[in-house]
Structure 1
Amino acid sequence: MNFKLSHYVIFSDIIDEKNNRLIYTTRTGSLLKISDKVYSHLLNNDFTNISNDDIMPLILNEAIVDNNEDEFKEVLQRNRLAIKDKRLVAFTIQPTGNCQLGCNYCGQVHSKKTMNDLIKNKVVERIIKKVSAKHITGLTVEWYGGEPLMGFAKIMEISKDLIDYAERNNKTYFASIITNGLSLKLPIFKKLVKDCQIKLFQITLDGLAETHDKRRITKQGEKTFDIIFDNIKAVINSKEYDDSDCGILIRINIDKTNGDNVTRLIDLLAQYGFHEKGVAFEFSPVVNWGGNNAAKNSYSPKDFGNLEIDWILHAIKKGFKYKTVLPSLNPIVCQVVDKESEVFDADGNIYPCYEFPYTPKYENDNYKIGNIMFPEESFNNNAITRNWNTDIEKGISFCPTCNLFPVCGGGCPKIWYNNEVACPSFKTNIKDRVVLEYILKHEKCQEIISSL
């Protein structure tokens, strides 16, 4: 077989006194160490002078591939097969269009609408119908809004129905929630964990109070940081949290107005022992939502990528755990590409993407699958984003030429359909991540990172 160096590789600079380098193969998500000599042979497509011991891991991890292979088509085909062969179906349920907050970057228009019993029952019926297929082994449910906890009663009712079905039919069940945290009092948390089997809580803190309370205030202009922070502290210090296997993800929506506050937030959370409770971070750039120009104060991708590495290093120094900093294989980029996965809003509308409901820009029927109260024959199975992999081939994005495509999948399809660039932040800092990943696995990890 004639070989070629895969397009889907990332090389580091020399990392040690032995002139070794790292090679990250995005086709398999593998990280290997190679000598500088092997590196030179690879760049020159000189495979005959690479020893068998050195070349076999490169072949097995697809750093070297068949010279005749169209790699992009191969990766895209794997992605399509992953969707076809999936065994779990993902659903997002938005039980209410209401929210206490009036965040300055949110694209939603909120209302006091909450899912009624008729729509609730129809949603449960549709989910059960989809999950009842023999090859489906389970389902995942993400609760979203508006603010989902303003529809707490419906979360309880729907969870009971779906959990009962899953247990009776030997299906796995996993649930998560994206909440602003205002209503996440300890008694509510206990019910969500015990009765709703929610395992992951994503809560947003946009820096310390001084920045958070300028961005994430109530519709009446009231501050929210202290309430949310106290709620999280009460949760992570509870016996119920310790006894559960759930986790908390702190999302920070970041632009130039709060970027200098991120490390101080990390310091505060470490001061209160969040690092000892398995709390993790998601550093997210503020992006436009429904054409609201929210990204007007955002960092450039390069600047955000550089800052993100600094934030990750700072979090590690403060004791927060990172199992990995490298993106893993991502054949199913988002539930939007799986035509069995759906989003349900409080009115019974069905969408492919959870950012479409309650957002005026996406009220167009092209973005909607249908409504739960109408016959399935009327549904639009080709709603925007559903044919993402086909549209990549047609040139909607830069993905066909990007060496990160296997671990990215294209980023957020919705953003590309808005004629904006959706490349993730790791595109600009992947080489730093490769080296940091190596350090994380090193026996002297903390010593090395402390010196950086």
Structure 2
Amino acid sequence: MTARRSGLRSSRYNFCVPLGEGDSVLYNAGSGASIRLAGTDVAEIVKLLCGPPRNVATRTIPAALLASLRRGGFLVEQTLDEVAAIRERYWVARGRTPMVLTLTTTQDCNLGCYYCYEERSRAALGAADIPAILDWTRERLAASGKDSLHVDWYGGEPLLNIAFIELASIALQSLCNELNVSYSASVISNGTCWPDDVSGFIRRHRIRQAQISFDGLKANHDKRRRYRRGRAPEPGTSSFEQAVALVDRLLEVVHVDLRFNSDRGNSDDLEPLVAFCRERGWFDRPFPCVFQLARISDYSARSGFMSQAKLSEDEFERLRERARHLVPNENNLDETTTRSIYPLPRTSVCAALADDSIVVGADGHRYRCGLQVGEKNRPVAFTRKDGPMLPGPDAPWWDAFDPTRQPNCSRCSFLPVCWGGCPKKHLEGDTASLHEQSLYWRKALPQKIAWQFGVVMEESTFTFSECDQFR
């Protein structure tokens, strides 16, 4: 028994979060376990278990506590390669993550948002593209054994090509019925060109979630999300008023993510926009809206000019903090803003990394990430009029990407709950954005842990250090 105990070491994923008044929480990112600690021995236990992994002599640890520490993964066998264990978990998740088919109905848009990172064109999917989409979907469902398919209608403004949605949706639903596979859909839209029968459209296409974007209240929104020349239904039409009228109707039948695209020029609209949502009852409808705080950023080389206008990570975190105080319920906040979602280890990956997910561009090419649609050198498969598709130059990178083998991620103690963040940033070597992701977890992780123990922790109270992160 003694020999077995001497073969233990502290986990590289242990963290301590002080709650105040002598209490602390011991948290392990690898297992998601947490233990509340109190008493005179807390500092000694924290010193023993947190920081770089070290061998631990367990003879002086009470038996009950020792059992809890082992069960929660705070103490592990000296022979255990924790990074390899996370790696195995990651690759299993790539295969098990639900299947998402993102269809870029068109690259066209009726609005001219100044920060748009997409290349506008009249490229659009049509009836002739549906057979290839069905063939790919059938093959992947059969090969993977997945029992569900989720379709994300994407653009441009996807509702500008509603004829394709009507055809492809019915065809995909029929395929799922044939294969006894469940079907659901979502849509990302600017909210200006929906059909009159909103509820019928939602039910017919089995849409379970819609994202509608706002750039603040009417003055800011209409200035930033203006109609392109000749595209307004009538002179003087307000894109803000159209989106508001749509959200009023959507919240009766479907979940809506109300996305506030913020930058240094409109962040002061946060308070009045939340107040506007409350006045219209959007947080209290049959399907209460979720307020999704987003930061306008330089998502691609085409939007590099946004680097001067985007909020810094610190500025955006302060905006998040304001949102937490303004929105009436944590359930009405998106998961990156709320504190109430407990930080469990990841068990799924983003659709860009999932083995059985793909993005079909309006050009017919296949992409892994929706943010790359339309970038001429980024498809992972190119369509041809005759013959099979040709692989793109990035295809091997996406197939092989593994955060546990990245130089910084492999030594990062947030790895089990983050899995390297956005893979697109790794592909592009965007070290600034990856650094911002690190800063987010240093601030957000202690807040999320403390919340579970009834403590509301502000950013200024406690954050993890770079030494806490990299071990």
Q: How does 1:45-64 map to 2 (within 5 A)?
A: 45=49, 47-64=58-75
Mapped partners of 1:289, 1:25: distance in 2: 32
Distance 1:226 1:40, change over 3 A: farther
Q: What corresponds to 2:77 in structure 1? A: 66
> In the alignment, is the contact (CA less than 8 A) between 1:324 and 1:440 conserved in 2?
no
Aligned partner letter, 2:264: K
Aligned partner letter, 1:439: G
Distance 1:316 1:50, change over 3 A: farther
> Alpha-carbon deviations, 1:227-285, whole Å to 9, x = none?
1112101222x3xx1xxxx4111112222212222122112111221111321122222
Aligned partner letter, 1:303: E
Give the CA deviation at 1:172.
1.9
Compare CA radii of gyration and give the structure with the larger one.
2
Aligned partner letter, 1:393: R
The structure 2 residue matched to 1:334, chosen from 344, 347, 350, is 350
Mapped partners of 2:307, 2:9: distance in 1: 41
Q: What corresponds to 1:91 in structure 2? A: 101
> Alpha-carbon deviations, 1:320-342, whole Å to 9, x = none?
47693344433443222234321
The structure 2 residue matched to 1:212, chosen from 202, 208, 221, is 221
The structure 2 residue matched to 1:349, chosen from 342, 354, 365, is 365
> Alpha-carbon deviations, 1:345-373, whole Å to 9, x = none?
22211111111122xxx311x54322275
Mapped partners of 2:214, 2:270: distance in 1: 10
Distance 1:401 1:323, change over 3 A: closer
Give the CA deviation at 1:318.
9.1
> Alpha-carbon deviations, 1:387-438, whole Å to 9, x = none?
463476153xx32222222111211111232222235334433222322343
Q: What corresponds to 2:281 in structure 1? A: 273
TM-score normalised by structure 2 residue count? 0.81
Q: What corresponds to 2:459 in structure 1? A: none
Q: How does 1:124-143 map to 2 (within 5 A)?
A: 124-133=134-143, 135-143=145-153
Mapped partners of 2:200, 2:88: distance in 1: 42
> In the alignment, is the contact (CA less than 8 A) between 2:94 and 2:349 conserved in 1?
no
Q: How does 1:113-124 map to 2 (within 5 A)?
A: 113-124=123-134
Distance 1:387 1:34, change over 3 A: farther
The structure 2 residue matched to 1:144, chosen from 142, 145, 154, is 154
Q: Which moved more, 1:343-352 or 1:26-35?
A: 26-35
Q: Percent identical across equivalent pairs?
A: 21
Q: Secondary structure at the match of 2:372?
A: coil
Are 1:198 and 2:230 counterparts? Answer: no
Q: What corresponds to 1:450 in structure 2? A: none
Q: How does 1:172-187 map to 2 (within 5 A)?
A: 172-184=182-194, 187=197
> In the alignment, is the contact (CA less than 8 A) between 1:369 and 1:380 conserved in 2?
yes
TM-score normalised by structure 1 residue count? 0.84
Q: What corresponds to 1:79 in structure 2? A: 90
Q: What corresponds to 1:11 in structure 2? A: 16
Q: What corresponds to 1:258 in structure 2? A: 266
Give the CA deviation at 1:99.
0.9
Q: CA RMSD in A?
A: 2.8
> In the alignment, is the contact (CA less than 8 A) between 2:366 and 2:381 conserved in 1?
yes
Give the CA deviation at 1:79.
0.1
> In the alignment, is the contact (CA less than 8 A) between 2:330 and 2:339 conserved in 1?
no
Q: What corresponds to 2:449 in structure 1? A: 434
Mapped partners of 2:370, 2:398: distance in 1: 13
Q: Which moved more, 1:248-257 or 1:420-429?
A: 420-429
Mapped partners of 2:211, 2:341: distance in 1: 19
Give the CA deviation at 1:146.
0.6
Q: Secondary structure at the match of 2:185?
A: strand
Aligned partner letter, 2:157: E
Q: What corresponds to 1:101 in structure 2? A: 111
Mapped partners of 1:215, 1:3: distance in 2: 58
Aligned partner letter, 1:283: L
> In the alignment, is the contact (CA less than 8 A) between 2:108 and 2:155 conserved in 1?
yes
> In the alignment, is the contact (CA less than 8 A) between 2:293 and 2:320 conserved in 1?
yes
Aligned partner letter, 1:204: S
Give the CA deviation at 1:374.
5.3
Aligned length: 424
Give the CA deviation at 1:73.
2.5
> Alpha-carbon deviations, 1:169-221, whole Å to 9, x = none?
2212221111111124561x323321111101111112222332332222239
Aligned partner letter, 2:351: Q
> In the alignment, is the contact (CA less than 8 A) between 2:107 and 2:362 conserved in 1?
yes
